[in-house]
Amino acid sequence: MLRRLYLHHFRNYTQAEFTFSPGVNWICGKNAQGKTNLLEAIYLLSTGRSFRTHILSQLIQKEAGFFYIEAEIEKEGVSQTLKVSFDGETKKVEINATSYSNFSSILGLLPHVLYAPEDISVVAGTPSHRRKFIDLHLSQIDPLYLHHLARYHKAMRQRNELLKAKSEIAIDPWEIAMAQNASYILNKRKELIDELNPPLLEKMEKLSCGSDPLEMQYQCTLNADSSSELVELLKKNRKKELHIGTTLSGPHRDDIHFSIRDLSVKSYASIGQKHCAAASLRLCLLQHIKKNVNEMPLFSIDDFGAHLDPSRQGQFREELESLGQIFITSPNVDPEIFPEKMLHPIESGELLKKM
């Protein structure tokens, strides 16, 4: 649970401090006042990355030389302190007075699921969007997954350098390393899809009032049951990839296929169905994290009410009533939605007097 958050030179926040409720926290204000920036700061503390940009310097307030975020969190009844900063060159993370130099050390400390308008890209965008979604989720619940993912990409980069140079000298060890790590990655991804499919079908049917049964399927480019079989497949593909100069198959090329009644969500679903599918997926991820780490993750919803039609929105609200700490942004606040909530009115990067 996130109790307190302090922002300094982050986006449009010169200096601001927030105290949050353990239930629903409604962040309200006109457009371009800093509502999504606040969610971005919380997301950065949870995942070590922004959900809007991969360029950290863009998070630094204009004409400032750094950003600094400090948070007080509670895990299993124990208060902890988390500090994150970046000066344009150096990343710094401090967890309970222990320093780290990489933002990835944050992962798993404060599990978090974000539902934003851009989530439609997970079901209807490029395969890279879906790989990022599945990799981030698994990294929050399994530190070994992130370890194997990093080692796989390192080995693949070395293999690609040899492929570009048209050289097979010393390529075997890199293919063995790729296969060993790919085996772990593929098994975890497939396990996740199998575990998520039943609740995903249930959530989607509820949100869509039974009209849209949703399923997902993992599409593997290196289909093998063991690391030794993966090595053989990499060797088999080597001749073709030497000509092209890059690795064409592996976890970095895999995809997830979403379908409703055997029709592709990406190609055939309406915008409303796509948003409903994304909402269902996020609700499933919340429960999956809770099941695996025995802790309900934070849930952030950016621009509440912009994703779903009134019928689906009503069903979605019912799902939220049983969840833990929630952060919602919207221009306006409906007094009938979540009567037990803490309001955080924002204007020009400042917290106004609470309503």
Contact 145, 188 (CB under 8 A): yes
Q: How many residues does the chain have?
A: 355
CA distance 281 to 311: 18
pLDDT for residue 53: 93
Q: Which is more confident, 194 or 108?
A: 194
pLDDT for residue 227: 93
Place 354 in a pLDDT band, splitting at 50, 70 and 90.
low
pLDDT for residue 117: 83
> In this structure, what is the dihedral angle of CA atoms 143, 300, 19, 79, given to the nearest 10 degrees?
-20
Contact 22, 33 (CB under 8 A): no
* Bridge partner residues of 326 (DSSP): 24, 299
Question: pLDDT tens for residues 170-181?
Answer: 999 999 999 999
pLDDT for residue 355: 45
Give the range among 58-67, 207-216, 328-337 with minimum mean pLDDT. Answer: 328-337
Task: Average the pLDDT over 131-140 and give the result.
Answer: 95
Task: Average the pLDDT over 338-352 and give the result.
Answer: 88
Task: Average the pLDDT over 333-344 and give the result.
Answer: 83
Per-residue pLDDT at 260 exceeds 90: yes
CA distance 252 to 236: 18
Question: pLDDT tens for residues 93-129?
Answer: 999 989 998 888 899 899 999 998 888 999 999 999 9
pLDDT for residue 312: 81
Contact 85, 30 (CB under 8 A): no
Question: pLDDT tens for residues 56-104?
Answer: 999 999 999 999 999 999 988 899 999 999 999 999 999 998 999 888 8
DSSP code of residue 336? T
CA distance 74 to 353: 25
Question: pLDDT tens for residues 279-332?
Answer: 999 999 999 999 999 999 999 999 887 777 778 888 888 888 778 899 999 988
DSSP code of residue 12? T
pLDDT for residue 333: 83
Percentage of residues in the chain having pLDDT higher than 90 = 79
C-alpha gyration radius of the chain: 22
pLDDT for residue 353: 67
Annotated domain spans of the chain = 127-270
Mean residue pLDDT of the chain comes to 93
Q: In the CATH scheme, what is the homologous superfamily, with its name and number, of domain 127-270?
A: RecF/RecN/SMC, N-terminal domain (1.20.1050.90)
